Amino acid sequence: MTLSIIIPVFNEAESLVELHSEIISVASEQSLDLEVIFIDDGSRDSSWEEIQKLATFDARVSGLRLRRNFGKAAALTAGMAAAKGDAICMMDADLQDDPAEIPRFAEKLNEGFDVVNGWKLRRLDPWHKVYPSKVFNWLVARLTGLKLHDHNCGMKMFKSEVAKEIRIYGELHRFIPVLAHSRGFRVTEIGVNHRSRQHGKSKYGFRRFLRGFLDLMTVAFLTGYGQRPQHMLGAIGLFVFGLGFSGLGYLALIWMMMNVFLIWPPEPIGNRPLLAYSIALTILGAQAISLGLLAELIVHYTSRATDTYSVSEEANRQDAT
């Protein structure tokens, strides 16, 4: 199995030589056939110069330099497009991911899995990163149905077919196992050694957590209703419309009791707050149903046939002449 290791880099010049040395040492010990692709995601330090030096002295190393900082998902997408291996390993450049774990990931792939996700058993991060991550992982499991201990782990390995079938953007790189799982690929996880940061500073912050939560909502929608948006939007619309219609029906019944059957003294219906709420709910419900129909039209005219299925294997297939 040929392995492509893709490493996004952002202002991490100090760690690149050491990281490269560790990867090559593991490759030599395990006789791994690999390539290493560094993607400079708009670094402002000497990261690109270090990548050029490594590529000059080691034919297994190549580099890509993005014009500006496009984000980790874009860098990984560029790396996956350039990768030539049968399997792809993602890892960070800050030395917290241990290259010695690479053979264990490869062994799991050889057992028949398509995606192997890392799980930092003993996480050497401050509490303000650990506990939000636990909440995030719990939410991902609840909303997507894929139960992994550490969706945020930067170290992952997956077969090249997975890279061809999933599309990542924004902050969706952390959801590669979820996206692959939704396509029917077999996903597992292994515990990995997590090391303390040696150089640079963490890029984690509240903004990243907020973006991750919003991306989780996107992934939950794409994996659950990406090909049938009306099932979600229509259901919400019908529920809201039903509430509004029920409120209007109740007010109509009250009006008839007062003005037709004269059971109660007449009162203006327009003074009741329920009237405004019911009208608003009816309009919102109708809009949600309309959005669902528009989304269905977009899916119908823009989706490809392969978006709806994923082929695992072929047997005795002959191309038509």
Q: What is the mean pLDDT of residues 104-120?
A: 94
Phi, psi for 196 (deg, rounded to 5): -75, 155
Name the pTM for this structure: 0.77
What pLDDT sits at residue 321? 44
Residue with tokens 């939704």: 182
Percent of the chain with pLDDT over 70: 90
Q: What H or E segment, with its residue span, contains residue 316?
A: none
Average pLDDT over the chain, rounded to an integer: 87
Q: Provide the edge-to-edge strand list for the sheet that holds 61-65.
A: 61-65, 33-40, 2-9, 87-90, 156-159, 115-120, 187-192
Give tens-digit pLDDT for 207-237: 666 777 778 888 888 787 777 888 888 899 9
DSSP reduced 3-state for 264: coil
Which of 68-77, 149-158, 186-195, 304-313 comes out lowest in average pLDDT?
304-313
Both tokens of 244, joined, read 């509004």
Q: State the average pLDDT over residues 32-36.
A: 94
Helix (H, G, I), strand (E, B) or coil at 2: strand
Q: Between the CA of residue 193 and those of 96, 153, 188, 199, 292, what are the distances in Å?
A: 9, 11, 17, 18, 46
Instruction: Enter the DSSP assignment of 245.
Output: H
Secondary structure E strands in the chain: 2-9, 33-40, 61-65, 87-90, 115-120, 156-159, 187-192
* % pLDDT > 90, the chain: 53
| 162-204 residue pLDDT tens | 999 888 887 788 899 999 998 999 999 999 988 877 665 665 5
Supply 316's token pair.
Answer: 């005795």
